[in-house]
Each structure stands twice: as structure tokens, then as C-alpha cells.
Amino acid sequence: MDKLLHFAAGLAISLTVSFGTGEPVYGLTAGCVAGVGKEAFDSTQRGNRFDEMDMLATFGGALVGYGISELVDKEIHSENR
């Protein structure tokens, strides 16, 4: 369940930033930065650690968000021709 939450967070961040800026790569970047930042923060907490698999789950969600954003962007631009 934890990995699914990380994936969902990466997806949500990626889509929000992508559609907010009109730049899917910004969404991908934001999702990945959030994944690294969350794990870096966790590593400073007693009883917690940097979890690479959590980070990768967040990256995965961000990547799927990037793909969706690119597809939507291409569809919108093809309709405007």
C-alpha cells in the first residue's frame, strides 16, 4: 500500500505541474524532486531511512504522469491544426 501511495503522489504532482505550466517535463521533474526530497527528509527522522523503492515508486508515478501529459498535449495540438 505504501508504494501505491508513493506512485499516486508522483502521478498527482506530475499531472498538476504539467497541466499547470503546460510543460510535461516540468511535471516529471517536480515529481522526481519530490520523491528524492521526501526520502531525504525521511532519512533525517529517527527510526526511518532513505527508501530507494519508495523513491522509485514516486518516480514511476511521475513518469506515468509525464506520459499522460505528453499524450494530452499532442492530442490538443493535433486538434488545433
Higher pLDDT, 75 or 38: 38
Cβ-Cβ contacts under 8 Å for 25 (sequence gap 6 or more): 66
pLDDT at 47: 95
pLDDT tens track for 16-71: 999 999 999 999 999 999 999 999 999 999 999 999 999 999 999 999 999 999 99
pLDDT of residue 80: 63
| Spatial distance between the Cα atoms of 35 and 79, rounded to a whole number of angstroms | 34
With a CB cutoff of 8 Å and minimum separation 6, the contacts of 2 are 54
Neighbour-count burial for 50-65, b at 16+ CB within 10 Å, e otherwise: ebeebbbbbbbbbbbb
Position 78 scores a pLDDT of 78
Domain range for 42: 2-79
- Residue 50, classed as helix, strand or coil, is coil
What is the pLDDT confidence band of residue 72, given thresholds at 50, 70 and 90? very high
In the chain, the number of structural domains is 1
**Model confidence pTM above 0.85:** yes
Spatial separation of the C-alpha atoms in residues 21 and 16, rounded to whole Å: 8
